Structure 1
Amino acid sequence: MTSLSPGSVAVILPAAGSGRRFGEEENKLFALLGGRPLWTHAAEILSRRCEVGRILLAVSSCDRDRFEHQVRELTHPERFQIVIGGEQRSDTVAAALAEIASSNPGASRPEIGWVAIHDAARPLVRDSDLDSVFARAAETEAAILATPVTGTLKRTGLDGDSGTTFDRRGMWVALTPQVFQLDLIRQAYQRHRGRAATDDAEMVERMGHPVALVPGAADNLKITYPEDLLVAEALLSERLKRASQ
């Protein structure tokens, strides 16, 4: 199996959002999960990966001090770098990509050839899924975790009440991380020019480069609403219970 070399991946954790949909004034990433800030769960998992050389935590300026304090509590704080993000998620990722481009590898820093973009609000990503998406990216230059749609798909009509059913066969829900060869994702962002995109993979697809879908676990959920946090608490508790047996 093809694999990415140690230290060759820079992880971008976009963390400059707000808590509007979560129903809080502060950044939802500061909510506690298992007694720890939500964002630190994925951060710890990714920082233990041998492929990961750097982790760029892209935050809003008003949250910087708080994130810096929490980074110091992590197992490998030296692997993290704080970057100031932008108004939109794409602006935040672009800021992190610019930081990668401006940083030359030193004697103790391997050259970065890959970028993995992961939602900081997805705390339960599995190592086995990271194995799979990193390996597929090494083969294709662009790969994302995704899970098949299992429910019935409906689209509302013009009246907003009636609905039309869509065939779910072949439909997938995109997850993260989304992993790209560095020059490829740079070029995609250079061509982006502010056009709306639902995720980073769409920007790569616009250039005509295929993006491989790698089946990932459905419990790699994104915390968007307070009830999502309750589900994550239950999943985390069960995962810790199994690990202790």
Structure 2
Amino acid sequence: MPQPDALGRNGSYVVLRKYDSRVGAFNDFVRAHAQDEAAQDLLAAKMFGRWRSGAPLPLSPDGDDAALGADPDRRNDFDFAGDHAGLVCPHGAHMRRMNPRGDRLTILTDENIHRIIRRSSTFGPKWSRDVTAADDGEDDRGIFFIFISARAYDTIEFLQQEWVNRGNFMDLGEERDPIVGLHAEPGQFTIPADPARRRIDGVTTFNRLRGGEYMFMPSLTALRWIAAGTWG
């Protein structure tokens, strides 16, 4: 059994984040930059990297696929090796930023050392297309994220500082994550296209960070030692 000084061995960090989601503001944004509902859904998918069902753009580039989105194995079985230009999934899309699997990054190129285990849970009313910014209330809708990682600085803190709130690792300068990025002033989102890319202005903070906690989760060996109560 471990001694007290070994309680931290093989343990991991559990990080909780709470976001207040401005669903109406996001709806207003896509309506302002897309003419009809189909174009609005496509723009939202380009910003997230996934369609509303969860189907990823690399596997379903032309439209949503509910069956794919409902399959937890298939919907995550892809990388960006065949889309280095970002024509299918923009480089700055939220999903691609958080896990640029197989991508060609300008700096900080080893994405594997920044991997995390994460799960999320939403709260508040379900999404509706007719919701506007006037309907957004304080903590009315949002997301709880739980991350697990043994190296909090190299993962959680890195993701927030570099991949969410900066764009130089993929040649996007000061462009930030369009979904969870912190925008002190309205920013932009770039959609690569042939022959010319499209840049959309007016991106604001659609998900506001309201709080969180850093917790330590002991290993199973340490938990057994605590439960046994054999310390003197």
- TM norm structure 1: 0.28
- With CA pairs under 8 Å and 6+ residues apart, which has the higher RCO, 1 or 2? 2
* Greater fraction helix: 1
TM-score scaled by length of structure 2: 0.29
